[in-house]
Amino acid sequence: MVIEQAKEILKDIFGYSSFRPMQEKVIEAALNKKDCLVLMPTGGGKSICFQIPALALSGVTIVVSPLIALMKDQVEALKVNGVSAEYLNSSLSEQEQSVIIERLHKGDIKLLYVSPEKMNSESFYYIMLQVNVNLIAIDEAHCISSWGHDFRPDYKKLGYLKKQFKDVPIMALTATADPLTQNDIAIQLRLSKPKIFKDSFSRPNIFIEARPAYKRKEVILDFIQEREDESGIVYCLSKKNTEDLSRFLRSNGVSSGFYHAGMDPSLRNRVQNDFINDRIKVVCATIAFGMGIDKSNVRWVIHHNLPKNIEGYYQEIGRSGRDGMPAHALLFYGYQDYKVLSSFNEESERKVILNARLDRMLHFAESNHCRRKLLLNYFGEWTMDNCGECDNCKGSPSLFDGTVLAQKALSAVARLRGRLPKELLPKVMTGDRTPDVVAGGFDVIKTFGAGADVSGDDWERIVNQLVSLGYLKVEYQLGSILALTPLSDKVLFEGKTVMLHRLNEKIKRAKKVTRKKQITASSFDQEKGLFERLRQLRRSMAVEQGVPPYILFSDATLSEMVERRPTNEWEMKDISGVGNTKWERYGQAFVDEILAFMQQKNKKAVPVYMKTLELYKQGLSPEVIAARAGVNIITVYSHLATLFEKGEEVDIEQYVMPYELTEIEKIVQRNPGFSLQEIFEATNRQIPHHIIRLSMSLLKKRR
């Protein structure tokens, strides 16, 4: 029954009929008071995992979030859905914070977002002792680990929570953590026998592409001009790059702004607000931008320079396509970027791990292998399958059968049983007895010198490929020791083929990769007019509400409206993302816009249900009407229900048995927000959809 309540909340509040993969299991664990570590890709629905338990349980859920903008965005989205949510951070005055704390004590708040600094303060600790905390959710949990790519000392202090609030479950969530960081999160937060949930890191809706850094400005301009109606982010390495590129784009007619840490905070906020409210289409930014933005309709992300690690790169490209619709990630790379980033690492105590991650990023950019496969293996989601949808899969990579070479390298690692550092494997393969090799006893194994016919430089390239492809992994916490993976056995014992780059050829890149045309928000043909009208309506209503447009409805929800064209409350509530509150506040306006568009498309045409009325008045049965009009009989019943609601003299009660109406009325009274499909399920699939539709119209008229 508990998970059934969660499903009701999902539909009534958020407007979705079913959970995404993994969400239901996470929510069930949280409702059963279990600690959880949740790994889901950006846009995978992490927030729902703690928002639904917050609404299902008595008390308040405390959410730790690293950025003010992110808190504000999520709280606004919850309020639009009718949820009592607030945030506490340094952007609020003392008086504003006092009002929120007073409401917290009264039990008026279901979700409270706080910064890690606030969570670690003595004053807030005493507040938590005085209220009923049902769950603590720690978003962006990778920030707690010194192995992670975005370590923050204030997160490290959150380890006290489990000690002080033993009976309160903790949910740690992240979209970017390699296996080493995942383990460290659980240790640092002192989670008690945590349930670990790993969703796939794959984002199949994002097309991934990398190109050498040649004529970047011109290529970026062409890329954007081909997508003039779409929003996107260009990440740059330096503040100067952001300003220069934004100026160049504006001079060529692109509405853009720049964003970096050296700007006045008020100017930064203005650019961010202009972007999330669709007043500008493009932001050229340093990596300081984007983490606090939940904007679902970002259609592309460009990296003007090589990122410093794969975790950051993955997180940044994940800011596109959050609504599940097609998106594009374009990366430019060059050795000069690598040198600059490497120099930044020189002064760090974490120099070794930072350089290792930078190397992996460069290998990813230069690789001829499937990019999605490289990303998944990096995060420990071992796979040998190609995605078929990245630039390398679409191109013609120059590869050769390197199975024998791979078997030799894997055999050496297996024989040395977790003692061989990564940098020494090429020396072992070529039979080079250096002092380090001899001291480790690495020269006495059977495979020592087994690859002497290949140069040491080529063996370095082979080892890097084997690591990138997931056949080997590096245990950084043990001193960069090599270890086998689940894919290793497939090569050593199952005869799986390993394809490698040709070692003596420079990797070639096509000048441009043409992607198969897909239906996207900006490429509707006949439907583009309606989509634009709905988008303009969304924008005008968002301006009135003072919230970003995507918080009202995502592009994916608008696209579904265009495809299905709902013309009444029940049809609109069957659209993903339309819950009870959103229907009450915005639904009818969108229905009216759809009806107006349909009538204007052919001014001579009358609504299709009027044809049904004409035939009905001739005394014809629904079956005959369906045959005459050339439509499905279910459509005829829907037309009759609509006509009845509009006051036409149509006797729909004759088609509904009294016991059917009674049963449906009981279901609706218990679950007022149920959709037609949910009512159908509640009747154990015994009462057909068209009878439910007619019954809903009868009950609506009674009220």
CATH code of 463's domain? 1.10.10.10
pLDDT of residue 585: 84
State the pLDDT confidence band at 307, using cuts at 50, 70 and 90.
very high
φ/ψ region of 334 (left if φ > 0, alpha if ψ in -120 to 50, else beta) reads beta
Long-range contacts of 149-153 (CB under 8 A, 24+ apart): 149/176, 149/308, 149/309, 149/311, 149/312, 149/357, 150/176, 150/311, 150/312, 152/66, 152/116
Name the strand (E) or helix (H) holding 173.
strand 170-174
Residue at a domain's end among 486, 501, 516: 501
- The answer to whether residues 354 and 474 belong to one domain is no
- The answer to whether residues 413 and 455 belong to one domain is yes
Question: How many structural domains are present in the chain?
Answer: 4
- Burial of 65-90, coded b for 16+ CB within 10 Å and e otherwise, reads bbbbbbbbbbbbbbbbbebbbbbbbe
pLDDT of residue 573: 86
Residue with tokens 């990797």: 507
Residue type, 237: L
- The answer to whether residues 474 and 351 belong to one domain is no
- The answer to whether residues 407 and 380 belong to one domain is no
DSSP labels, 281-318: SEEEE-TTSSTT---TTEEEEEESS--S-HHHHHHHHT
What average pLDDT is seen over the chain? 88
CATH (domain of 544): 1.10.150.80
- For the chain, the residue count is 703
Name the strand (E) or helix (H) holding 138.
strand 133-138
- The answer to whether residues 219 and 311 belong to one domain is yes
Q: CA-to-CA distance for 64 and 70, rounded, in angstroms?
A: 11
Evaluate whether residue 431 is within a structural domain.
yes
Question: Is the predicted pLDDT of residue 604 greater than 60, yes or no?
Answer: no
Evaluate whether residue 633 is within a structural domain.
no
Q: Which two tokens stand for residue 88?
A: 């506490």
CATH (domain of 190): 3.40.50.300
- The answer to whether residues 385 and 416 belong to one domain is no
- Count CB-CB contacts under 10 A for residue 673: 17
Q: Are 74 and 45 in contact (CB under 8 A)?
A: no
- The answer to whether residues 74 and 126 belong to one domain is yes
pLDDT of residue 290: 61
pLDDT of residue 522: 41
Evaluate whether residue 439 is within a structural domain.
yes
Evaluate whether residue 683 is within a structural domain.
no
Question: Is the predicted pLDDT of residue 277 greater than 90, yes or no?
Answer: no
3-state SS class at 151: coil
Residue at a domain's end among 390, 422, 457: 390
Q: Over range 482-502, report the average pLDDT.
A: 92
Q: CA-to-CA distance for 598 and 590, rounded, in angstroms?
A: 12
- The answer to whether residues 237 and 339 belong to one domain is yes
Evaluate whether residue 284 is within a structural domain.
yes
Q: Are 368 and 397 in contact (CB under 8 A)?
A: yes
> DSSP alpha helices (H): ranges in 81-178?
94-106, 116-119, 122-130, 153-156, 160-164
165 backbone dihedrals φ, ψ, rounded to 5°:
-125, 65
487 backbone dihedrals φ, ψ, rounded to 5°:
-80, -20
Question: Which residues does residue 259 pair with via DSSP β-bridges, in sequence order?
Answer: 285
Q: Over range 286-298, report the average pLDDT.
A: 74
Evaluate whether residue 681 is within a structural domain.
no
pLDDT per position as a tens digit, 186-233: 999 999 899 999 988 889 999 999 999 888 999 999 999 999 889 999
- The answer to whether residues 183 and 261 belong to one domain is no
pLDDT per position as a tens digit, 641-692: 888 988 899 999 999 999 999 999 999 888 877 767 678 778 887 888 889 8
Question: Which domain range does residue 253 map to?
Answer: 206-390
Question: Which residues does residue 4 pair with via DSSP β-bridges, in sequence order?
Answer: none
Lowest mean pLDDT among 11-15, 395-399, 474-478, 694-698: 395-399
State the pLDDT confidence band at 627, using cuts at 50, 70 and 90.
confident
Lowest mean pLDDT among 15-24, 280-289, 522-531: 522-531
612 backbone dihedrals φ, ψ, rounded to 5°:
-65, -40
3-state SS class at 627: helix
- The answer to whether residues 224 and 373 belong to one domain is yes
Residue with tokens 């995992």: 49
558 CB-side CA count, 13 A: 30
Q: Pick the residue with more confidence: 108 or 677?
A: 108
- The answer to whether residues 253 and 319 belong to one domain is yes
Question: Is the predicted pLDDT of residue 235 greater than 90, yes or no?
Answer: yes
**Number of helices (H) and strands (E), helices first, in the chain?**
35, 17
- The answer to whether residues 324 and 266 belong to one domain is yes
Residue at a domain's end among 570, 604, 638: 604
Lowest mean pLDDT among 30-39, 285-294, 478-487: 285-294
pLDDT per position as a tens digit, 147-170: 766 778 889 899 999 999 999 999
C-alpha dist (Å) from residue 611 to 6, 28, 37, 618, 625? 42, 49, 57, 11, 9
pLDDT per position as a tens digit, 505-554: 555 555 554 444 444 444 344 467 899 899 999 988 888 777 889 889 99
Q: Are 422 and 429 in contact (CB under 8 A)?
A: no
C-alpha dist (Å) from residue 694 to 626, 627, 650, 657, 683? 16, 20, 11, 11, 15
Q: CA-to-CA distance for 439 and 433, rounded, in angstroms?
A: 10
pTM (global) more than 0.85 = no
Q: Are 334 and 299 in contact (CB under 8 A)?
A: no
- Count CB-CB contacts under 10 A for residue 187: 11
Q: Pick the residue with more confidence: 363 or 595?
A: 363
Q: Are 478 and 419 in contact (CB under 8 A)?
A: no
Evaluate whether residue 99 is within a structural domain.
yes
Cβ contacts of 171 within 8 Å, gap of 6 or more: 26, 30, 35, 36, 38, 49, 50, 135, 136, 137, 138
Strand 60-64 vs strand 133-138: parallel, antiparallel, or unpaired? parallel
Q: Over range 417-445, report the average pLDDT.
A: 93
Q: CA-to-CA distance for 13 and 82, rounded, in angstroms?
A: 7
pLDDT of residue 127: 94
pLDDT of residue 509: 52
258 backbone dihedrals φ, ψ, rounded to 5°:
-120, 160
Question: Is the predicted pLDDT of residue 412 greater than 90, yes or no?
Answer: yes
Evaluate whether residue 298 is within a structural domain.
yes
Q: Which two tokens stand for residue 494?
A: 């199952």
Sign of the Cα torsion 44, 50, 55, 56 reads positive
Cβ contacts of 691 within 8 Å, gap of 6 or more: 655, 656, 657, 660, 664
Q: Which two tokens stand for residue 435?
A: 């002092």
